[in-house]
Each structure stands twice: as structure tokens, then as C-alpha cells.
């Protein structure tokens, strides 16, 4: 917008004159003198540092005259604040034009883009001309670098990202430099395994895969509904960590990354020029054996999509079937992210429940910027669950009426390995759904394109063990494999005397894990004489048939924590015992479901009417808080005030759950559980340096032995309490599905070849 000159000035102009506008800063900037520093000065610097005056300055040093005009340039005493319309990458080419206009020196506005097809092309070509004397303005450098990064992320030249992120460091140096601050997790196996161990230990005995996942609309944690959205934040990696991760991708990971990237490049081209075709939504299934870097790739893709989106919230929803696997990728469980119903039928036949109006509008707001849903550990997601995900996303994105739209038109990228665990309830995703749920189209078989990862990263230092695991995965171990594994069996007492005594113990069943946790607590008690406290939950019936009130609560409520929102009725804890957090208390501070630590102390306060437990009283006092020192010192840093020796005070929470005879209860309890042991189902997805496994008679499902064995990074980190070779097995349906997927790739490439010729 430009202002016309006043009427009397216009009247004095020649009839043919075009000099009808009042000159503004931009016009004066175009008339600045030539030479140093003016040639390389941007409009932004000019406007911030200089003013234009009609009075000739008295000092000779300030005597800088504009060209073709009787005005002088005067240096300001203080910088001026430059204001203008703020554009984002969502504004397409205007965004790049705005950056060029403000920060890249020009003489004639028509020249800003003239030689290039678009402002973005001009931006790429001119990036070295940007007025870097502006580096003192923090927002400037950040903004330009973000734009450069964005352009490069969308281009095919990943190596050029190195110049942006670390201009003085060569590619090779970056690869070997392990001293970057916060995000070592992609490079340092030691770090990764320790942290994974912390998460793994989160999975103590009492809970099933549902324990921390009980935040559906039906089974809602009353105190914090926002918890499922811990992934909707930005800045998950530092620039250096991101670049390191990109440059560390193996060839197969790179190819899959490129497939995803090409989609967004095509989309961007379409947005800049609608004549370019709009790519179809992504429906990918990324698969490969345990440890081939599926979760690693998820983190990179997630970060990439966040970086190219330029939106205030993440455009990606990261989900997984269990709390720990979700924690492992920094996401939330599929059913908490989408408010899906919990499977009370325990047969994978739950009916789909539409959302309440309030919940729907809440989820619509949260999904506003979301374009991609990533699901890890898809082998544990049932066919019915996939159908519910499709319906829920359609509901959220309001595409239900469109018969040709699936998953709300969002991109769905599934990661997993069908040779690992199957859904706890229900059938594999590739099997036909039960009759009443049968969709018109088979969601899995019709849409999902397989992409294969083949390079093992978890056991990459132990080739022999990697090959053994490859054979166990497909159910074909040889005699040498059986002998090697049999030699890892140790007695319980030998384990207690060895470095394995502190390693996570992994059992097939919850009862076994619970038993081991109990044993360890008793051991601690006898060795250190620490008192074991019983923290009893408060249960309250909030809904149900009138006559249910006469039935004692203990007859209505299951003792299985998977049916009580993961919370135990009687939690046994002692100073010094190992625990895991069961809820996301403060996600951005690392206080998340799965974080592991040690009980440092208890907080005793005067008991009131809401006392947590009569059995915790100590001189009329009750335990109202548990101080936990988390293994990761970064956990809970922002709430230091509540710390005692760096331990974080954990308070009880209240959760709602369904009980027998149609009753609904709330349970107020500490969101903690003992974590010396875990079940195999809870550790799928994790990497551990050391573990003690029971893969004996209690193994009850195909894939369990493989998942357990593939957690450790080498055979040296493996101790077995029991091993039964006959328990190494594979579902025939998985073999058939893998064949179908592999054949589909071959067929596609044959069709492609025919089309090319």
C-alpha cells in the first residue's frame, strides 16, 4: 500500500508526471548511495539504523545524500523497531518474497525475483547475499536459517543441510563427533540402552498392556486430559542432533525417508502451483526385524515434518499400542491420542463409540494442523482397532460422509514387524475383521504399501547374534543357535551373584513379573531393614445400579490392574525400591509414563478425611506423597521447588474405570509401580544392554521368544532363567501375509517396468 501526495502537491505536478506517491522508507532505501556499506545493506538494516531528513547535517561525516533527491541519511541514536506483515511458509511464495524484500539488498523492487521462476528460487540463489550484519537481531538469523533449512529439507540436497546447521564443520567431522549436548540418543548405543532400560523398567508386573493406556473417553483420568498430547510440541531435537541422525541413516532408512520426503515435496509444489498434481495421502507400512531402526526412523521423520511445517504445534501425531512403546518414540497410546474405546470385551470386538460434541471439538482443535499419524508397533494393533482409527479420524476431520475418503485423508505411516507380538485382544491387522465390523473395503490390504528395512542396528556389534535372531524371527533356529542359547541359562542364585542381578527381568506373564517384584522388595527389606509401606487406594462408586451399592467394593472391582486404570489397590513401596511412573504428569519435564527411578522418601502429613490409607499412618500421619529420584537427572527439572535431594514429589491421582454389574468407580492412588521386572509385551520396542529373560514354558504366544531375545544389544548382555526351544514359533498367517507383501512389491516393480518400456 502506498499513500498519494497531498492534493496541492499533486496539482503542481506536470500532467505527465508519475511522481504521485509520498516516498516511504522503501523508496528512500532504493535511492541510497552506492559503495560500502550501502550496497550490501538490507531494507531492514536501513530502516532500523537510519532516518531520512530534509535538513542537511552539519557534520561532514554525516553528509550522506540520497540519489536523485534533496534529502540526507542520518544515523539513528537508537535502533528503530521495524514492523510489517509477518508471513510464514504457509503463505507460499509470498513468504520467500517477504524475506528477500526485507533482508536481502536490492535497488529496484522489480529485480527481487525477475531472473527467477519464483521467489523461492530467488531466495535459494541469493541466500549468500543476505545482510548478515543483522545477526545481532536474533529473530533475523533464526528466521532466515529456518527458511533456508526448510528449502533444503524439501530439496534433495541433504548434505547441504550441514552448511546450514554447522557451517564450519565438515560432514565427516560431524559423523565422528559424539560430543553434542542433548541428543546423543541417536548415536551412542550406551546412552540409548540406558534410557531405554529406564523406560523398560517402567513395566512392572501388575499391569497389562492396558495399564497406562486407560485414558479413553470411557476410562478417563480425571485430573489431566491433555496428557495424550505430549507429542504436540515442537523442538524435539537440536539442529545438530537432527543433522547427525540424518547423516547416520542407513541406506534402507534413507530410501524410506526419501519416499516420505518426496510426498511433501510434491505437496509443496502443488500448493505453490495448483496445476501440479496433488499427491495422494501416504499409506505406508515400514517393516523389518527387531532393531533395524524403525523407531529411530520415526523420530527422524517426525522431526523432519515438524521442521518443514512452520506451525506452532506439531503436524504429526505419534502413537503406539502400549504406554512404553509410545514413550519410546515420544508419543502417546493410540487410544489415548484418539480417545478410542477400551476393549472391555477382551476379544477385540469393542463397538465403536462416537465422541461427545465437547470431546469432538476438543480433538478437532488438536488435529487442526495435523497431517500425519504415525503408528509404531503396528503388529499389536488389531484389525478392529485400525477400523476404529479410520472412523475416528474421519469423525475428527469431518470426512465421514465422503465414501472415498479414509482416515480423514490424513497420512498414515505404520511401523512394525508381524513376526513380533500380535494384538493382546483381537486379530492381526491384516486378518478379516469380524462380520459386524467388516468394512466395504479391507483397510489394510487395500491401501498399505510395504517398505522394508533390512539392516540391523541394535545388535550390529554382534554379527553372530544378529544372524541367530534372524533365524529365530522366522521360526527356523538351527542346532548351533539352540546350543548357544541353552548355554546362557543360569540359576536364579547365580544371577543374583552376577552383574545380571540389577538387570531388568523380563517374563512372559504378569504374575511372574509381579512375583519377582515382590521378591525384590522383600529382599530390600531384609537387607536394609527398610520399612515396607502399603499405600492403599481410595475407591469410590460414582455410577451404577441402585442395588450395587449394597455389594462390597472388593466384589465389584477386579484385582487385575488392567481393569482399574493401571492403578493398584495396595501399592507396596519402601525407601530405596525401584519404581516407574504410570502417568504423564508433566510431559515437557520428562515426568512421563515409563520414567523410572528410586523411591527416596515419603511425605507424611496429618491425616484428614481424604487420607489415602489407614495402613500408612505414622503417629497419626498419612503418606500423601512419594519422593522419587528419577534415573535421568533432567526429569522434573522445572519443579525443583518440590524436590528433596533432587527427588520429585509424586502425589496421588484419580482415575475412573468400569467395574462389575455396570458400576463406575474412581480410584485415587499413586501413579507408581515397582519396576524390577517387566512382561515381554511391555518391552517390545526397547533396546537394553543387559536383561534376564524367562523364555520357558510360560511363553504363550508366537513371537514372544523373539521379542524377548531381540531386546539385548549383544549375547553378552543376555542371561536366561529358562529356555524352551519349542517355544520359538511363528503364526502361519504372518508367513502368508509377509509373502503377500513381498509379492506385492515384486508385482509393482514389474508393472512399473512394463509401463516404463
Question: Rule CB under 6 A: which residues touch ligand ATP?
Answer: 186, 189, 192, 248-250, 253, 290-296, 417, 457-458, 685, 687, 710
* Distance, CA of 501 to CA of 692 (rounded, Å): 8
Sign of CA pseudo-dihedral 485, 486, 487, 490:
positive
* Distance, CA of 390 to CA of 394 (rounded, Å): 6
- Examine residue 37 and say whether the peptide bond preceding it is cis (omega within 30 degrees of 0): yes
Closer CB to ligand ATP, 217 or 737, in the complex? 737
Q: Considering the complex, what minimum distance in angstroms separates the CB of residue 374 from ligand ATP?
A: 12
Closer CB to ligand ATP, 373 or 599, in the complex? 373
Q: Are 243 and 174 in contact (CB under 8 A)?
A: yes
φ/ψ bin of 703: left (φ > 0), alpha (ψ from -120 to 50), beta (otherwise): left
Q: Considering the complex, what minimum distance in angstroms separates the CB of residue 707 from ligand ATP?
A: 7
Closer CB to ligand ATP, 186 or 285, in the complex? 186
Q: Considering the complex, what minimum distance in angstroms separates the CB of residue 381 from ligand ATP?
A: 14
Task: Calculate Rg over the CA atoms of the chain.
Answer: 31
φ/ψ bin of 641: left (φ > 0), alpha (ψ from -120 to 50), beta (otherwise): alpha
How far lies 626's CA from each of 269, 604, 614, 648, 649, in Å? 54, 9, 16, 8, 6
Q: Are 681 and 424 in contact (CB under 8 A)?
A: yes
Which residue is nearest to ligand ATP, using beta carbons? 293
Coil, strand or helix: which one is 536? Answer: strand
- Helix locations, 617-686, DSSP H: 680-683
Q: Considering the complex, what minimum distance in angstroms separates the CB of residue 236 from ligand ATP?
A: 15
Closer CB to ligand ATP, 116 or 257, in the complex? 257
Closer CB to ligand ATP, 301 or 626, in the complex? 301
* Distance, CA of 537 to CA of 235 (rounded, Å): 38
Closer CB to ligand ATP, 253 or 675, in the complex? 253
Q: Considering the complex, what minimum distance in angstroms separates the CB of residue 385 from ligand ATP?
A: 18
* Cβ-Cβ contacts under 8 Å for 730 (sequence gap 6 or more): 419, 473, 474, 475, 702, 703
DSSP 8-state symbol, 108: S
Q: Considering the complex, what minimum distance in angstroms separates the CB of residue 683 from ligand ATP?
A: 9
Closer CB to ligand ATP, 45 or 379, in the complex? 379
Closer CB to ligand ATP, 295 or 562, in the complex? 295
Closer CB to ligand ATP, 52 or 504, in the complex? 504
Q: How many CA atoms lie within 13 A of 142 on its CB side?
A: 6
Q: Considering the complex, what minimum distance in angstroms separates the CB of residue 199 from ligand ATP?
A: 11
Q: Considering the complex, what minimum distance in angstroms separates the CB of residue 684 from ligand ATP?
A: 6
Q: Are 673 and 555 in contact (CB under 8 A)?
A: no
Q: Is 747 exposed, middle or buried (0-12, 13-18, 19+ CB in 10 A)?
A: exposed
* Distance, CA of 160 to CA of 168 (rounded, Å): 12
* Distance, CA of 192 to CA of 713 (rounded, Å): 11
Q: Considering the complex, what minimum distance in angstroms separates the CB of residue 249 from ligand ATP?
A: 5
Closer CB to ligand ATP, 192 or 268, in the complex? 192
Closer CB to ligand ATP, 189 or 576, in the complex? 189
The crossing angle, in degrees rounded to 10, of helices 479-486 and 463-473 is 110
* H or E segment and range at residue 298: helix 294-309
Q: What are phi and psi of 544, to 5 degrees?
A: 150, 170
Closer CB to ligand ATP, 284 or 659, in the complex? 284
Q: Considering the complex, what minimum distance in angstroms separates the CB of residue 458 from ligand ATP?
A: 4
Closer CB to ligand ATP, 417 or 568, in the complex? 417
Q: Are 435 and 235 in contact (CB under 8 A)?
A: no
Q: Considering the complex, what minimum distance in angstroms separates the CB of residue 410 from ligand ATP?
A: 22
* Distance, CA of 112 to CA of 122 (rounded, Å): 8
Closer CB to ligand ATP, 257 or 604, in the complex? 257
Q: What are phi and psi of 476, to 5 degrees?
A: -125, 60
Q: Considering the complex, what minimum distance in angstroms separates the CB of residue 711 from ligand ATP?
A: 7
Q: Considering the complex, what minimum distance in angstroms separates the CB of residue 329 from ligand ATP?
A: 8
Q: Considering the complex, what minimum distance in angstroms separates the CB of residue 380 from ligand ATP?
A: 11
Cell of 284: 505406508
Closer CB to ligand ATP, 189 or 696, in the complex? 189
Other Cβ atoms within 10 Å of 509 Cβ, number = 17
Q: Considering the complex, what minimum distance in angstroms separates the CB of residue 629 from ligand ATP?
A: 25
Reduced DSSP (H G I as helix, E B as strand, rest coil) percent helix, strand, coil of the chain, to 5: 40, 15, 40
How far lies 382's CA from each of 417, 420, 431, 462, in Å? 13, 14, 9, 34
Q: Are 649 and 625 in contact (CB under 8 A)?
A: yes
Amino acid at each position: 500500500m502506498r499513500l498519494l501526495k497531498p492534493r496541492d502537491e499533486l496539482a503542481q505536478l506536470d500532467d505527465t508526471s508519475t511522481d504521485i506517491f509520498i516516498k516511504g522508507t522503501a523508496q528512500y532505501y532504493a535511492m541510497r548511495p552506492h559503495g560500502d556499506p550501502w550496497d550490501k545493506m538490507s531494507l531492514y538494516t536501513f530502516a532500523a539504523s537510519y532516518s531520512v531528513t530534509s535538513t542537511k547535517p552539519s557534520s561532514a561525516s554525516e553528509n550522506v545524500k540520497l540519489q536523485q533527491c534533496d534529502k540526507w541519511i542520518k544515523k539513528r541514536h537508537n535502533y528503530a523497531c521495524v514492523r510489517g506483515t509477518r508471513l510464514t511458509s504457509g503463505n507460499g511464495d509470498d513468504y520467500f518474497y517477504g524475506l528477500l524484500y526485507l533482508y536481502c539488498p536490492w535497488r529496484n523492487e522489480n529485480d527481487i525475483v525477475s531472473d527467477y521462476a519464483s521467489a523461492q528460487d530467488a531466495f535459494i540463489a541469493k541466500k549468500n547475499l543476505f545482510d548478515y550484519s543483522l545477526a545481532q537481531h536474533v529473530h533475523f538469523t533464526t528466521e532466515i536459517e529456518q527458511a533456508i533449512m526448510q528449502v533444503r529439507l524439501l530439496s534433495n540436497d541433504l548434505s547441504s543441510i550441514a552448511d546450514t546447521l554447522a557451517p564450519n564443520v565438515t560432514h565427516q567431522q560431524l559423523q565422528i563427533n559424539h560430543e553434542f549436548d542433548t541428543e546423543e540418543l541417536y548415536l551412542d548405543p550406551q546412552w540409548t540402552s540406558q534410557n531405554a532400560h529406564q523406560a523398560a523398567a517402567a513395566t512392572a508386573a501388575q499391569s497389562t498392556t492396558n495399564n497406562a493406556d486407560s485414558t479413553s473417553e470411557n476410562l478417563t483420568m480425571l485430573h489431566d486430559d491433555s496428557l495424550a498430547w505430549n507429542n504436540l510440541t515442537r523442538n524435539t531435537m537440536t539442529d545438530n542432533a537432527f543433522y547427525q541422525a540424518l547423516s547416520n541413516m542407513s541406506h534402507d532408512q534413507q530410501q524410506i525417508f526419501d519416499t516420505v520426503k518426496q510426498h511433501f515435496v510434491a505437496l509443496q509444489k502443488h500448493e505453490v502451483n495448483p496445476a501440479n498434481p496433488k499427491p495422494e495421502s501416504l499409506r505406508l507400512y515400514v517393516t523389518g526385524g527387531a532393531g533395524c531402526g524403525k523407531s529411530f526412523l520415526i523420530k527422524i521423520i517426525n522431526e523432519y515434518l515438524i521442521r518443514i511445517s512452520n506451525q506452532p504445534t506439531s503436524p504429526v501425531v505419534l502413537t503406539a499400542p502400549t504406554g512404553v512403546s509410545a514413550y519410546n518414540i515420544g508419543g502417546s497410546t493410540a487410544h489415548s491420542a484418539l480417545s478410542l474405546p477400551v476393549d472391555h470385551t477382551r476379544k477385540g470386538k469393542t463397538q465403536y463409540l462416537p465422541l461427545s460434541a465437547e470431546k469432538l471439538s476438543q480433538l478437532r482443535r488438536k488435529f487442526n494442523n495435523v497431517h500425519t499419524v504415525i503408528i509404531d508397533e503396528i503388529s499389536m494393533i488389531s484389525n478392529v482397532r485400525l477400523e476404529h482409527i479410520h472412523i475416528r479420524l474421519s469423525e475428527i476431520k469431518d470426512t465421514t460422509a465422503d465414501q472415498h475418503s479414509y482416515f480423514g485423508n490424513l497420512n498414515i505411516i505404520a511401523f512394525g514387524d508381524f513376526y513380533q507380538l500380535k494384538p493382546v485382544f483381537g486379530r492381526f491387522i491384516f486378518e478379516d475383521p469380524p462380520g459386524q465390523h467388516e468394512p466395504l473395503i479391507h483397510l489394510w490390504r487395500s491401501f498399505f504399501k510395504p517398505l522394508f528395512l533390512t539392516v540391523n542396528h541394535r545388535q550390529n556389534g554382534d554379527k553372530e547374534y544378529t544372524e541367530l535372531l534372524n533365524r529365530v524371527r522366522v521360526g527356523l533356529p538351527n542346532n548351533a543357535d539352540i546350543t548357544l542359547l541353552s548355554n546362557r541359562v543360569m540359576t536364579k542364585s547365580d544371577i543374583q551373584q552376577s552383574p545380571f542381578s540389577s538387570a531388568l527381568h523380563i517374563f512372559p506373564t504378569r504374575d511372574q513379573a509381579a512375583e519377582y517384584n515382590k521378591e525384590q522388595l522383600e529382599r530390600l527389606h531384609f537387607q536394609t531393614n527398610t520399612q515396607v509401606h502399603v499405600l492403599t487406594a481410595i475407591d469410590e462408586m460414582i455410577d451404577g445400579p441402585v442395588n450395587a451399592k449394597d455389594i462390597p467394593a472388593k466384589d465389584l472391582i477386579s484385582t487385575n490392574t488392567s481393569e482399574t486404570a493401571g492403578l493398584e489397590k495396595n501399592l507396596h513401596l519402601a525407601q530405596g525400591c525401584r519404581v516407574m511412573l504410570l502417568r504423564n504428569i508433566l510431559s515437557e519435564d520428562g515426568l512421563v509414563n515409563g520414567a523410572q527411578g528410586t523411591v527416596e522418601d515419603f511425605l507424611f502429613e496429618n491425616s484428614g478425611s481424604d487420607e489415602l490409607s489407614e495402613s500408612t499412618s505414622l503417629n497419626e500421619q498419612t503418606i500423601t506423597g512419594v519422593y522419587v529420584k528419577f534415573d535421568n537427572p533432567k526429569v522434573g527439572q522445572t519443579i525443583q521447588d518440590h524436590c528433596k535431594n533432587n527427588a520429585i514429589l509424586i502425589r496421588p491421582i484419580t482415575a475412573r474405570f468400569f467395574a462389575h454389574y455396570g458400576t463406575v468407580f474412581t480410584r485415587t492412588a499413586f501413579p507408581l509401580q515397582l519396576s524390577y521386572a517387566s512382561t515381554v509385551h511391555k518391552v517390545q520396542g526397547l533396546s537394553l544392554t543387559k536383561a534376564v529373560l524367562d523364555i520357558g514354558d510360560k511363553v504363550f504366544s508366537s513371537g514372544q521368544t523373539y521379542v524377548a531375545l531381540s531386546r539385548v544389544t549383544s549375547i553378552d548382555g543376555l542371561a536366561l532363567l529358562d529356555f524352551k526351544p519349542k517355544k520359538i514359533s511363528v503364526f502361519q498367517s504372518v508367513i502368508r501375509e509377509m509373502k503377500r507383501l513381498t509379492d506385492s512389491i515384486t508385482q509393482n516393480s514389474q508393472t512399473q517396468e512394463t509401463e516404463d518400456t
